[in-house]
Structure 1
Amino acid sequence: MSGWDPDLYLRFEAYRTRAAADLLSRVELEEPRFVVDLGCGPGNSTALLAKRWPSAAITGVDNSAAMLGRARAAYPGINWIQADLAGWRPPDRQDFIFANASLQWVPDHRPLLQGFCNSLRTGGVLAFQVPSIHHQPAAEVYHRLADTPPWRAFRVPDERLTVETPSFYHDVLASWCRHVEIWETVYHHLLENHEQMVLWYRSTGLRPFLENLPDEAARSAFIGELVNRYRARFPALADGQVLFPFHRLFVLATR
Structure 2
Amino acid sequence: MTNTHWDPDQYGLFGDERRRPAIDLIARLPKPAQGFNPTNIVDLGCGPGTVTSLLVDAFATNGNEPVITGIDHSAEMLEKARAHDDRIIWQQSDIAAWEPEAPIDLLFSNAALQWVPGHANLLPRLCGFVKPGGLIALQVPNNFLAPSHQLISEAGEKWEKEVAAAQDQLKIMRPGDYFDVLTPHCSNVDLWQTQYCHVLRGEDPVFNWVFATALRPVLANLPDDDARAAFCAHYKTRLKHVYPARPDGITLFPFNRLFIVASKR
- Decide: shared fold, TM above 0.5: yes
Cα offset, 1:89, TM superposition? 1.8
Task: Tell me if 1:171 matches 2:180.
Answer: yes
Cα offset, 1:214, TM superposition? 3.5
User: 1:193/1:230 Cα in 2 relative to 1: closer, same or farther (>3 Å)?
Assistant: farther
Q: Deviations over 1:222-244 (max 9, x none)?
A: 11111110121123323232101
Q: Deviations over 1:135-189 (max 9, x none)?
A: 423111223322x11x325326353212000000001111101110001111111
Identity over the aligned pairs, expressed in percent?
A: 41
Aligned equivalent of 1:113, options 109, 123, 138: 123
Cα offset, 1:36, TM superposition? 0.2
2:153 is paired with a residue of what secondary structure?
Answer: helix
1:178 is paired with a residue of what secondary structure?
Answer: strand
CA RMSD of superposed structures (Å): 1.5
- The amino acid of 2:204's aligned partner reads E
Aligned equivalent of 1:238, options 239, 244, 247: 247
Task: Tell me if 1:49 matches 2:49.
Answer: no
Aligned to 2:135: 125
Looking at structure 2, the residues matched to 56 and 50 of structure 1 have their Cα atoms a distance apart, in angstroms, of 8
In structure 1, list runs of 5 or more residues that go unmatched. none
Looking at structure 2, the residues matched to 203 and 234 of structure 1 have their Cα atoms a distance apart, in angstroms, of 18
2:191 is paired with a residue of what secondary structure?
Answer: strand
- Taking structure 1 as the reference length, the TM-score comes to 0.94
Aligned to 1:36: 42
Aligned to 2:225: 216
- Taking structure 2 as the reference length, the TM-score comes to 0.91
Contact 1:156 1:208 in 2 (8 A): no
Aligned to 1:13: 15
Aligned to 1:24: 26
Cα offset, 1:4, TM superposition? 0.6
Cα offset, 1:29, TM superposition? 4.1
Contact 2:153 2:164 in 1 (8 A): no
Count of residue correspondences: 253
In structure 2, list runs of 5 or more residues that go unmatched. none
Contact 1:60 1:78 in 2 (8 A): yes
Contact 1:32 1:95 in 2 (8 A): yes
Aligned equivalent of 2:257, options 224, 230, 248: 248
Looking at structure 2, the residues matched to 177 and 154 of structure 1 have their Cα atoms a distance apart, in angstroms, of 38
Cα offset, 1:129, TM superposition? 0.6
Contact 2:49 2:70 in 1 (8 A): yes
Q: Deviations over 1:63-91 (max 9, x none)?
A: 11111111011112210111110111212
- The amino acid of 2:25's aligned partner reads L
Looking at structure 2, the residues matched to 195 and 215 of structure 1 have their Cα atoms a distance apart, in angstroms, of 22
Contact 1:138 1:245 in 2 (8 A): no
Looking at structure 2, the residues matched to 232 and 134 of structure 1 have their Cα atoms a distance apart, in angstroms, of 18
Task: Tell me if 1:155 matches 2:157.
Answer: no
Looking at structure 2, the residues matched to 143 and 239 of structure 1 have their Cα atoms a distance apart, in angstroms, of 30
Cα offset, 1:193, TM superposition? 4.7
